[in-house]
Chain A
Amino acid sequence: MTTKFTPDHEYIRVEGSTGIVGITPYAQEQLGDIVFVELPEVGKVLRKGDEAAVVESVKAASEIYAPVSGTVAEVNNVLTSEPGLVNSDPENGGWMFKIAIENAAELDTLLDADGYAALTR
């Protein structure tokens, strides 16, 4: 199991041909209290870098981009009633959507944990 990161602070945890996407602890900390999460529709086809979801803090909306191309396989509907999970548990309970990865080679363009850590240091 590998986890990769974008410079925009999304993570994608790869399990076989599926990626679980959310935002990093650093990102949730920067955004502050998340009060609303808008999730993509299951079946939606995303290109790498497409706007996939939106998280709203008290003050502002922030787009979440698809780290890789693929098809939305599942969304975390719990976030509709408990958006605060993105703050309290961003890497587990606060995941946003699962994507069927179209081209695994795109993962190589993303940051690894060390590279991401260096970015946010």
Chain B
Amino acid sequence: MAAAGSEDLKQTPLHERHVAAGGRMVPFAGYALPVQYPTGIVAEHKWTREQAGLFDVSHMGPGFLMLAEPSGDAEADHAAIAAVVEPLVCGDIAGLGPGQIRYTLLLDETGGILDDLMVARSPVFAGGLYIVVNAATKEADFARIAAAAGERARLERADGHSALLALQGPEAVNVMAALVPGAVELGFMTYGVFSWGEDKVLVSRSGYTGEDGFEILVDAHEAVALWDALNADPRVRPAGLGARDSLRLEAGLPLYGHDLDATVSPIEAGLGFAVSRRRREAADFPGARRILAERDGQLARKRVGLVVEGAPAREGAEILDAGGKAIGVVTSGGFAPSLGKAIALGFVPPAFAARGTRLQVSVRGRAQPAEVVQTPFVPHRYFRKSA
């Protein structure tokens, strides 16, 4: 069990805290990160569902895209920066209000998904966007965004000199109330900049667990102090990548590089909601022809949720119809700690995608029963403010 190549891995500003807490460090997207702490994945998962789990997600790619020459007119400047990003994605960026975050997709010319990401309109700076991309794709994503921006906008990456912490779970709001009180006023998918002691932190009400929670961007020098302050609350326990994965799977949230890649379109992936209405009507996003045709029913495959009887069906397992014919493949699968059974995400032809369809999965050469179910497997509990 050698820690192969661990010397080549990047460390987050919280590395020493993970090691001190007994975190089992593994390579992930070029970083050394804890897959679990001594309590284990199931305990960390359940704690997050019941209290609040604290995750180090500093490997991800936060950045700011700033209009090079803002006019000072907030609406005009936002329209100008939105015009830089919109040709790359299928989301309505122009329509974002100050502080509003949108989940969107970076698409190639054929409508394949290059990444899923968050794009938010700055509540502070006219012509500023806050962007968070996935770790494994961040170099390519940022290069693509910078190239699109040209001289019109300046991309400032925040990874490297910041830490990104995710505090997730029903108690997260009460924990934040004590540390960063202003942040509890945020509704789901909004963000703001708040004082924490003498420092500023960027807090968004968002996450990857299906629970209410916050993601906090903090300067690398303050990261350990914030981590410690959060952990000092008895409602908070650190949680690793293992629980992050089982939580997002139960929440039915796709994972880039597994459930999503450049061969998968937004409609196939069940992410039609991310193709904003205005963009759809204008058909002005990459791969619009394919994506709009798929939306009209010309669809070869569709992402579904499966409840699996017996052993977990992992990524790569074949999905079979009731008669045993291979019809698709599992892209994420594992054991759902909150449900006590095996669940999976995978792709099947639309004829097999209806809720309640009885299918099978092939695990170690044996067919096991599986049923198509609605996702999320575990209901989301986001904090949505009524408009």
Interface residues of A (CB under 8 A from B): 30, 32-33, 35-36, 38, 54, 56-61
Contact = CB atoms under 8 A, between A and B. Distances in A.
A35 B312 contact: yes
A1 B245 CA distance: 43
B335 A35 contact: yes
A54 to B, nearest CB: 7
Interface in B20-51: 35-36, 40-43, 45
B311 A58 contact: no
A36 B245 contact: no
Contacts of B45: 58
A58 B314 contact: no
B246 to A, nearest CB: 6
B36 A32 contact: yes
B242 interface: yes
B95 to A, nearest CB: 39
B35 A59 contact: yes
Size bin of chain B's contact surface: 20 to 34
Say whether chain B's binding surface is mostly helix, strand, loop, or mixed: mixed
Contact of B311 (A30, A32, A54, A59): A54
Contacts of A38: 311, 364
B63 interface: no
B248 to A, nearest CB: 13
Interface in B334-350: 334-335, 337, 342
B41 A59 contact: yes
B1 interface: yes
A58 B246 contact: yes
Given A33-B42, A54-B311, 15 more contacts: A32-B36, A32-B40, A33-B337, A35-B337, A36-B342, A56-B312, A58-B41, A58-B242, A58-B246, A58-B334, A59-B242, A59-B245, A61-B311, A61-B312, A61-B364
Nearest to B1: A30
A58 B42 contact: yes
Contacts, number: 45
A54 B368 CA distance: 15
B39 to A, nearest CB: 10
27 contacts: A32-B41, A33-B337, A36-B310, A36-B311, A36-B312, A36-B335, A36-B342, A38-B364, A54-B364, A56-B311, A56-B335, A57-B41, A58-B41, A58-B42, A58-B242, A58-B246, A58-B334, A58-B335, A58-B337, A59-B35, A59-B41, A59-B334, A60-B314, A61-B311, A61-B312, A61-B314, A61-B364
Nearest to A55: B311
A33 B40 contact: yes
Contacts of B41: 32-33, 57-59
Closest 7 CB pairs of A and B: A35-B335, A33-B42, A58-B41, A33-B40, A58-B335, A36-B311, A32-B40
B337 to A, nearest CB: 7
B381 to A, nearest CB: 21
Contacts of A54: 311, 364
A60 B41 CA distance: 12
Nearest to A120: B1
Contacts of B246: 58
B331 to A, nearest CB: 15
